[in-house]
Amino acid sequence: MTAAIIRPVTPEDLAALAAIEQACFPDPWAVSALGILTAPPYGGLCALLDGAVVGYVGWMFIPAGDGMAAEAEITRIAVLPAARRCGIGRALLDAMIARLRPDGAPLSVYLDVRASNCAAQTLYASCGFVRHGVRPRFYGDEDAFEYSLHL
């Protein structure tokens, strides 16, 4: 398989992101909600294989200030099922961190993940994220595990 191209999300990508949402989540975001990924303080990167968007990561970013390190919260990350287990999720996370931390300054990244999503939890742990809490019934009838990465 060809290596994925990672680039910023554009408004033209939103329909493809909505299709990924439909394929990956029981509670997919609408195109209108995904639009936040194209303007600060939010951001997003998408992964392309053979010119088609197959995955993306979105975040909210709070720059460093007043003695505080920069922070980011991953709002969504998804890869189409047919493109999984090829390193795309890791590539998206690595590219996001490189983009938010270009000078190596301190950065904390946070996310929530469904308790049942073992594949995502394995990815996050392999990238250095640490589980530090539980949000009971965060996803309706399912708990969320809270993860963080401090660089």
- pLDDT score, position 66: 83
Q: Measuring CA to CA, which residue among 28, 31, 61, 69 is closest to residue 43?
A: 61
Question: Which CATH architecture group holds 5-150?
Answer: 3-Layer(aba) Sandwich (3.40)
39-85 pLDDT, tens per residue?
999 999 999 999 999 999 999 999 888 878 899 999 999 999 999 98
pTM, to two decimals: 0.92
102-124 pLDDT, tens per residue?
888 889 999 999 999 999 999 99
Domain ranges, ordered by start, for the chain: 5-150
- C-alpha 53: how far from its chain's center? 14
Residue 1 pLDDT class (50, 70, 90 cuts) = low
CB 73 within 8 A of CB 59: yes
- pLDDT score, position 129: 97
Burial of 19 (0-12, 13-18, 19+ CB in 10 A): middle
Q: CA 78 to CA 95: how far, in whole Å?
A: 14
Q: CA 41 to CA 56: how far, in whole Å?
A: 17
14-27 pLDDT, tens per residue?
999 999 999 999 88
Residue 2 pLDDT class (50, 70, 90 cuts) = low
